[in-house]
Chains A and B, each alone.
Chain A
Amino acid sequence: MIRASKKSTETPAGLERALRRLSREKAPRTLLPAVLSRVGLADRYWRLESPLGPVYVAHSKAGISMVSRASSPAAFERRFAERFGRPVSAEKAVPPASVRALIRNVKGEGRRSLRFDLRDLSEFERAVLYKALEIPSGEVRPYSWIAREIGHPDAVRATGSVLAKNPVPLLIPCHRVVRSDGHIGQYSLGGSRAKRRLLEVEGADPGLLERLAAEGVRYLGNAEQKHFCFPTCGGIDTLVLTNKVRFSSEREALAAGYHPCADCRPLPVAA
């Protein structure tokens, strides 16, 4: 029992163990934000007007990192920190005109030249979002279209959940992606009503889209050119339905001798 009363650090091994124990310290939480802001890598945000009311737009050196509605700047800062684990502070410099214009009227072009900071996302998630970026203003595409176009035709559900968590809505227009049956569906930035509002602003007709979906119409065919499209495809004037053939499936359109449109690609189109 003499050994037990001896201090453990008096043996060489005991001393080494005691020294090793000194290594288990956690850095204070203030360290990371302080470093990032001192080297100019901290995220900053603007409060901008959108068709859905004010939104907060955060950006880092890498690009736009988040767009969100929030009840107050503090609420936005909290949400940002929860999602990314890093701080965000108000930006004093004015936003680029392109960003302000795109947020104010979502239909503007130029979002493809914006840089986005999607560093926390997986390759699949980025592929989904960048594909949504390709949908022109005034048009919509189903989730299944995105999944197929990025080479994961079976990942329709996964595509839907990536879009539901889109960190930069409005700028990456996930509101232009609808349910595979043609219904408008849900929207992360304020529900289906907000989604319909955005589509109206962009010149699509959400009421008409819902009616067509309810009738089971998924494609419209052009009888002269013998091709079929998604109802909002720029190649078809959706407001003039009189000359359009209605199809409820790709198979039906193909059987009638129609080809998939090369612009909206309801089916893969051979180059």
Chain B
Amino acid sequence: MTITPCSRTPNAPKSYATRSRELRLVISGAQQRAMQNAEASADAALAASLAEDLDGNFESVVRRFQDRLFTFSLRLTASREDAEEVAQDAFVRAYRALKTYPAERVRAMALRAWLYQVTLNVARNRLRKKRHPTVSLDGDDAGGARAARQAHDDPSVRPDARFEVKRERADIATLVAQLPDRYRSPLILRYVEGLKLEEVAAILKQPLGTTKSNVHRAINALREAMTESRRAGVR
């Protein structure tokens, strides 16, 4: 009798492919949890080091969070130029705030959630100013010209994106940024940044139920906006 590899045995309960897919799912779940734990403890260690020596360790904070805060800003503003300024302002504000906090408070901080919160505040202030631009009386429409230039510079709205996937991604990004703030922020935090609902609620200073229903409504609003934009043939 010859020994056949078990995946080829006809009476094997599951195919090799199925089992390996299941196995991968199991591993990825465990891995994800392990990664989240590792990340949380790295954040705690960083907060402790900031409490010890803010000036010596602040650079590590910027290095660790710059991609995340920049992406978060980019999804909020849909403009790379704005996003860089928002992220920059957020780090500067964070540094100045940390300077004034007592060491115990810094050590106990949920650094990641707090940084998202600071960024969100900076972005909101900025967007508020942008939506109500001051029009100068001498008729010089500098604000409008600047907005047009930004739209032109922003790769997410440039029409020459070559690949379908990329074009679709850019479209979703634009539509997300156009959602009203009460939907946009929870949607980005939950689904783009991948935070837990509890964390999102803490960042937005909302009851968990409110966040939950806003995330839910945000998804519906986004889906509606996508259908509409498809119908209008904007893509």
In the complex with contacts A18-B169, A18-B172, A23-B59 CB distance below 8 A: no
Contacting residues of chain A (189-220) with chain B, CB-CB under 8 angstroms: none
Chain A 20-31: CB-based contact to B (< 8 A → 1; otherwise 0): 111111111011
When C-beta atoms are compared, the residue in chain B nearest to A7 turns out to be B168
Q: Are B92 and A35 in contact (CB under 8 A)?
A: yes
Contacting residues of chain B (92-112) with chain A, CB-CB under 8 angstroms: 92, 95-96
Interface of B is mostly: helix
**Residues of chain A lying within 8 A (CB to CB) of residue B194:** 20, 23
**Residues of chain B lying within 8 A (CB to CB) of residue A25:** 67, 70-71, 74
State the Cβ distance, B64 to closest chain A Cβ, in Å.
11
CA A214 to CA B12, docked complex, whole Å: 78
In the complex with contacts A22-B173, A23-B71, A25-B70, A32-B62 CB distance below 8 A: yes
**Residues of chain A lying within 8 A (CB to CB) of residue B88:** 31, 34-35, 38
Q: Are B169 and A27 in contact (CB under 8 A)?
A: no
Chain B 47-75: CB-based contact to A (< 8 A → 1; otherwise 0): 00000010110110011001111110011
User: Which of A16, A21, A27, A41 is B66 in contact with, Cβ under 8 Å?
Assistant: A27
CA A86 to CA B63, docked complex, whole Å: 10
**Residues of chain A lying within 8 A (CB to CB) of residue B158:** none
Chain B 165-199: CB-based contact to A (< 8 A → 1; otherwise 0): 00011001100100000000001000111100000
State the Cβ distance, A33 to closest chain B Cβ, in Å.
10
CA A112 to CA B143, docked complex, whole Å: 56
Is the C-beta of B200 less than 8 angstroms from some C-beta in chain A?
no
CA A159 to CA B221, docked complex, whole Å: 63
Total count of chain B residues near the partner, CB < 8 A: 37
In the complex with contacts A15-B222, A16-B191, A62-B55, A39-B92 CB distance below 8 A: yes
CA A29 to CA B14, docked complex, whole Å: 49
Is the C-beta of A119 less than 8 angstroms from some C-beta in chain B?
yes
**Residues of chain A lying within 8 A (CB to CB) of residue B172:** 9, 18-19, 22
Chain A 112-125: CB-based contact to B (< 8 A → 1; otherwise 0): 00000101000000
In the complex with contacts A27-B67, A32-B63, A35-B88, A19-B95 CB distance below 8 A: no
Is the C-beta of A269 less than 8 angstroms from some C-beta in chain B?
no
CA A9 to CA B224, docked complex, whole Å: 12
Q: Are B191 and A30 in contact (CB under 8 A)?
A: no
Q: Identify the A interface with B (CB < 8 A).
A: 7, 9, 12, 15-16, 18-28, 30-32, 34-36, 38-39, 41, 61-62, 86, 117, 119
Given A25-B70, A32-B62, 16 other A-B residues pairs in contact with their CB atoms under 8 A: A9-B226, A15-B219, A15-B223, A19-B187, A22-B172, A23-B193, A24-B71, A26-B67, A28-B70, A30-B84, A31-B84, A36-B59, A38-B92, A39-B58, A61-B56, A62-B53
